[in-house]
Amino acid sequence: MATAKLSSLSELIKFAKLIIIDKISMVSSELLYTISLRLNDATGCKYLLFGNLNVLLLGDLMQLPPVCKEIEKPMFYKEINELKFKKIFKDTFLRRTAFIGFRFRPLTINVRQKEDPIFGNALDKIRFGYLDDEIKALFDSRRYELNLSELYELACYEHGDSVIMTPKNDMVKEVNKLIVMSYNDLYVKKKLCRRIETKKEARYGQLPMVDLSLEKIGGIIKSFQKHSKKHGNGLEEDLLLSEGSRVMLRRNKDIKKGFVNGARGTVLKTNVLPIVELRKKVFVLDISSISVKFDHLNDSVNVVPYKIKFVIGSKLVVKI
């Protein structure tokens, strides 16, 4: 690990007593060993496990397999190929020791589906590979052959304020667009990313340096967009908001005050800088904050813009 990253990790866990790893079924044995190795590097504990810190693993081992490129990669409690283990970890610790000390504690109370026990029981059966006619009938009763617009209208009509889960991010954006348009016939699509070109001397020659086809240009644009989103720390490049829009936090900001991942609220007002209040056209950089009334609070909260700056090639990118 690079010195700067190691120093940052050491500072982050300086006062940590407990490391919590969620969705453990998605963690391969190789990744778990790597986590232990990095914690050892950060704490200076070479031959101990997880930097001599307490570790709590949470998850459903019958839910999702490890996320990796290889097929059937071993889960966290299985051994790693001996040759691969020596190549990656050398003599930092013995094989199998990264998980052998964990104690298993089963959780049997279903909290998430406690208000819908029929659906909860069906999910429990599926975990063990049971799919009877009763479960099929239940799922068929909740299947809709509708497009996203019709599905959103049906959800609002039958359930009021609803959270719609989709398998792809593009579908999420489409649903959010429908929601914003339902509040306002005219909506503004704000571009949340601006690129500042750096000065570069142009050079000329008799022959073109590169022969670019339309397909190659398209590939470069797609590659740049993907690279840009990666550096954007998960922020969307386009964000559609309107007064009355429902929003949900995707990061834990203040646990004590309830500003956690999943906290929901309603947009009340978009606040702009005083110097632009008289303008007819407002740009995203003119926004000073957005007033949001979160469901768990009595008063509204002003959410200020958050900027991320990073360099891609010869360009400085500012994402808001």
Check if the beta carbon of residue 247 is closer than 8 Å to that of residue 264: yes
User: Is this structure's pTM higher than 0.75?
Assistant: no
Instruction: Please state, in angstroms and as integers, the Cα–Cα distance from residue 70 to each residue in 67, 141, 295, following that order.
Output: 9, 37, 43
Q: Give backbone dihedrals phi and psi of 295, rounded to 5 degrees, phi first.
A: -60, -30
Tens digits of residue pLDDT in 164-180: 777 777 787 787 777 77
CA-based nearest residue to 239, from 253, 231, 250, 255: 250
CA dist 296 → 71, 91, 265, 292 (Å): 43, 51, 8, 12
Most confident of 15-19, 117-121, 256-260, 309-313: 15-19
Q: Bridge-partner residues for 20, per DSSP?
A: 56
Please work out, in degrees rounded to the nearest 5, the angle formed at the alpha carbon of residue 246 by the alpha carbons of 242 and 252.
Answer: 115
Judged against a pLDDT cut of 70, whether residue 260 lies above it is answered with yes
d(CA 116, CA 114): 5
Residue 121: pLDDT above 80?
Answer: yes
Sign of the four-CA dihedral 100, 106, 111, 115: positive
Q: Phi/psi zone of residue 233: left (φ > 0), alpha (ψ -120 to 50 degrees), beta?
A: left
**What is the rounded average pLDDT of the residues 269-282?**
72
Contact between residue 74 and residue 80 where contact means Cβ atoms under 8 Å apart? yes
pLDDT tier at 238, thresholds 50, 70, 90: low
> Quick check: 284 pLDDT over 50?
yes
Domains of the chain, by residue range, sit at 3-89, 146-187, 238-310
Residue-by-residue DSSP string for 276-319: GTT-SS--GGGEEEEEEEETT-SS-EEEPP--EEEEETTEEEEE
What average pLDDT does the structure give for the chain? 73
The residue type found at 56 is L
